Amino acid sequence: MTYQTEFPEFCLDVVIPEGFVDCSWRNDSCPSWMYTFENGTVIRIRIDYSDLNLRDFRSLPRFRCEYWEDDQITEDPIAFCLVDVWPTVLEWIDFIKGLNVEIQ
């Protein structure tokens, strides 16, 4: 599954960081990408539509990032970032990657 098949009307207008895998699923509200660390922890980025009228949850920021203990994503995330600015997402990812290196 890819965001193109699961969300054919979605226009990806940002560059997904290297190492992230498209894990989009049509039952989610928007496309998403996942990065898995060697220790099994996961970063998941959800990117919503730029057009508010196409969003399921208009009150949420466009970019939602989550840091999980594992790829099962059944509990609450360890950390998260909710923003409308893509460079902030990239900074948050770098921060989490730095933390992950220290705890391995």
Read off the pLDDT band of 88 (50, 70, 90).
Answer: very high
Residues pairing with 22 in the sheet: 33
Could you say which DSSP state residue 7 is in? S
Cβ–Cβ < 8 Å for 24, 32: yes
Question: Model confidence over 38-73: pLDDT tens digits?
Answer: 888 899 999 999 999 999 999 999 999 999 876 666
Read off the pLDDT band of 35 (50, 70, 90).
Answer: very high
pLDDT at 73: 63
pTM over 0.95: no
Q: How far apart are CA 42 and CA 80, in angstroms?
A: 11
Q: How far apart are CA 33 and CA 35, in angstroms?
A: 7
| Cα separations in angstroms, 42 against 22, 47, 80, 98, 104 | 13, 16, 11, 13, 13
Q: Which residue has the tokens 């940002």?
A: 14
Which secondary structure element, helix H or strand E, spans residue 46, and what is its range? strand 42-47
